[in-house]
Amino acid sequence: MSLPKDCADHLRARYRLLTGNKLGSSHAHELVAAFFGYKTAAALRAETRFPLSDIGKAEILIPDLRLMDERVGTLRGLPADLPGVEDLTSELCDFLASQGHFDGRFWRSRHLSDDVNAFVQDDPMMIEGGLDGEIASTNAYFDELYIEEYDFKPSDDALVATLTGSLNGENDQDRAFHGDKIVFTTVMTFERVAGRIAYMEPELETDGKVDDSMYYDEDFA
């Protein structure tokens, strides 16, 4: 059996267990397709380049909750007591994990920026390491990394996230001031593995410079 069918059958079984009612097979398949990032079940079936059979090779899974919202809003005849999209997503994630289809990270937020920020804050060195030269040119201790802007661009092969932000610190009071803020841009490239939501952990490229704007601020002149 195929993974989409297994997922659809699981949703139907869970819905019947919870409510005693039936969820139609076509409805379940459409919801599963949306979960995997496809607008229709037919589009998912037509996928050949990134088959779901490769999902076990991926490291990050990003369910498409917004597309699921859209499909729930447009599919006709869905049960009135159908669980919400968050609950459906949890059911499918738990199923994929418990059945051994996927053992990586699930990013379930409706806002991808939240998951990216949490990922970076869990290991700030993935960005700070790309700023070693700038850090060394100052006399400051850096311990606060802020991401201020996010830009996401999906392509056929990858998801590219461009982050802009700042690394902030505190100058050593016994040494000359050479800046205590570094502004940076980081490009994160997530290689697509399976479906439209399964990726490898990202490759990062970071560029930055010491923020010297305060040197020219009249308040500091």
Rounded Cα distance between 44 and 65, Å, is 16
- Look at residue 140 in the predicted model and tell me its pLDDT: 66
Cα distance between residue 82 and residue 90, in whole Å:
14
Which candidate, 166, 122, 169, places its Cα nearest to that of 147?
A: 166
pLDDT grade, residue 196 (50/70/90)?
very high
Angle between the 85-98 and 25-35 helix axes, to the nearest 10 degrees? 80
**Stated pTM of the model:** 0.88
Q: Evaluate if residue 216 carries a pLDDT over 80.
A: no
Predicted confidence at residue 221, as pLDDT, reads: 45
Q: What is the pLDDT of residue 141?
A: 72
Q: Which residue has the tokens 């996927």?
A: 102
Residues 114-149 have pLDDT tens digits of 999 999 999 999 998 888 887 677 776 777 899 999
Taking residues 194-221, report their average pLDDT. 80
Give the model's pLDDT for residue 8. Answer: 98
The b-or-e profile of 50-61 (16+ CB within 10 A means b, else e) is bebeebbebbbb
Q: Across all residues in the chain, what is the average pLDDT?
A: 91
pLDDT tens profile 76-100: 999 999 999 999 999 999 999 999 9
Nearest to 79 by CA among 37, 30, 19, 36: 19
